[in-house]
């Protein structure tokens, strides 16, 4: 009986005092404007789609056999909701960059005609953006494979 009372007390106290995870970081209004401008002047969406295409091509033959077709890649990229991804992942990652540094990045891209390289394959990305993007792309491929 004593054991159950201790177990019950421990369970109740752990539930009562547990903390929920912190809310994701979101940019301030000024930062959001700068992030949107950076996305625009850097052709970020195009570069992200190039990255996604290369990622999916690499995943296509994982495990030594073809897992899905090129048409599946085109379908996933065609249905990609960049605006939703921007709000859930890009804003969160870029919210840690100061306004001054965001302005510097904007000027850098403006000075280079919006691209670092001619094919727009180089982009400014963080580990969390990469993880979220790969998770989303993999989930979409799995949905296609089930159908």
Count how many Cα atoms sit within 13 Å of the Cα of residue 99 in the half-sphere of its side chain: 7
> Considering the entire predicted model, what is its pTM?
0.76
pLDDT tens profile 5-44: 565 666 665 655 555 555 566 778 899 999 999 999 998 9
Q: What is the mean pLDDT of residues 52-64?
A: 89
pLDDT at 40: 93
Higher pLDDT, 28 or 104: 104
pLDDT at 50: 92
Mean pLDDT of all residues belonging to the chain: 84
pLDDT at 121: 74
Percent of the chain with pLDDT over 70: 84
Whether 111 shows a pLDDT value over 70: the answer reads yes
pLDDT at 102: 95
Q: How many CB atoms lie within 10 A of CB 83?
A: 9
SS (HEC) of the chain:
CHHHHHHHHHHHHHHHHCCCCCCCCCCCHHHHHHHHHHHHHCCHHHHHHHHHHHHHHHHHCHHHCCCCCHHHHHHHHHCCCHHHHHHHHHHHHHCCCCHHHHHHHHHHHHHCCCCCCCCCCCCCCCHHHHHHHHHHHHHHHHHHHHC
Q: Which of 133, 140, 139 is nearest to 50 (CA)?
A: 133
Q: What is the mean pLDDT of residues 59-86?
A: 91
Torsion sign over Cα 126, 93, 134, 72:
negative
Tokens 């547990």 label which residue? 18
Torsion sign over Cα 28, 31, 37, 39:
negative
Torsion sign over Cα 5, 7, 12, 18:
positive
């Amino acid at each position: 009986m004593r054991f159950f009372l201790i177990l019950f007390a421990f369970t109740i106290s752990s539930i009562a005092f547990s903390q929920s995870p912190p809310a994701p970081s979101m940019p301030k209004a000024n930062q959001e404007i700068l992030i949107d401008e950076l996305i625009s002047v850097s052709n970020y969406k195009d570069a992200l789609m190039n990255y996604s295409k290369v990622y999916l091509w690499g995943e296509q033959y994982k495990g030594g056999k073809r897992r899905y077709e090129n048409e599946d890649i085109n379908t996933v990229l065609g249905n990609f909701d960049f605006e939703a991804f921007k709000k859930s992942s890009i804003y969160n990652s870029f919210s840690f960059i100061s306004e001054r540094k965001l302005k510097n990045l904007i000027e850098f891209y403006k000075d280079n005609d919006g691209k670092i390289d001619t094919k727009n394959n180089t982009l400014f990305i963080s580990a969390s953006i990469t993880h979220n993007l790969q998770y989303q792309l993999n989930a979409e491929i799995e949905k296609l494979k089930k159908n």
